[in-house]
């Protein structure tokens, strides 16, 4: 019985340490590292999953030919009307800037959209994302927009 209790205690300590370590690592990421993290998530789980994870609840998304989409609820509703399973959206930040306060910053770079079936690039463009640190110290996107047309 003592062995089982000790094993449980060790398991709890390992899990606690692991969660603490992962949390500290995530909060110490730069904007570019955070931006790249969500690009990797988009490649693995889809654009919608990545955007919903990276956006702050009050985020605004600017897209072509429509008014700004304000708030995570509206963004989620827009995504429910669109299919993201035919393409892969990835992006690469090329620049970041953080305000002196350390609470607000932005990144910009180049994105590409790839057809899942053919693996051909079907779109390329530029983007900018404005980031804000939340109460946990994580960077969350508060405004995102992009422009097509690099090809």
Fold held by 29-148: Nuclear Transport Factor 2; Chain: A, (3.10.450)
Per residue of the chain (151 residues), give pLDDT as tens.
555 545 444 444 444 444 444 444 456 899 999 999 999 999 999 999 999 999 999 999 999 999 999 999 999 999 999 999 999 999 999 999 999 999 999 999 999 999 999 999 999 999 999 999 999 999 999 999 999 988 6
Domain segments of the chain: what residues?
29-148
Q: State the helix-helix crossing angle for 31-45 and 47-54, rounded to 10 degrees.
A: 150
CA distances from residue 42 to 19, 52, 97, 143, 147 in whole angstroms, order as listed: 23, 10, 23, 17, 18
pTM above 0.75, yes or no: yes
């Amino acid at each position: 019985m003592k062995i089982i209790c000790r094993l449980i205690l060790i398991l709890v300590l390992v899990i606690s340490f692991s969660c603490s370590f992962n949390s500290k690592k995530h909060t110490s990421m730069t904007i570019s590292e955070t931006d790249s993290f969500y690009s990797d998530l988009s490649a693995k789980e889809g654009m919608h999953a990545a955007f919903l994870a990276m956006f702050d609840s009050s985020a605004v998304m600017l897209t072509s030919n429509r008014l700004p989409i304000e708030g995570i609820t509206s963004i989620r509703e827009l995504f429910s009307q669109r299919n993201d399973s035919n393409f892969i959206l990835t992006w690469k930040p090329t620049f970041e800037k953080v305000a002196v306060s350390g609470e607000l910053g932005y990144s910009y770079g180049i994105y590409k959209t790839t057809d899942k079936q053919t693996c051909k690039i079907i779109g390329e463009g530029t983007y900018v994302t404005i980031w804000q640190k939340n109460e946990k110290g994580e960077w969350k996107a508060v405004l995102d927009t992009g422009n097509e047309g690099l090809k």
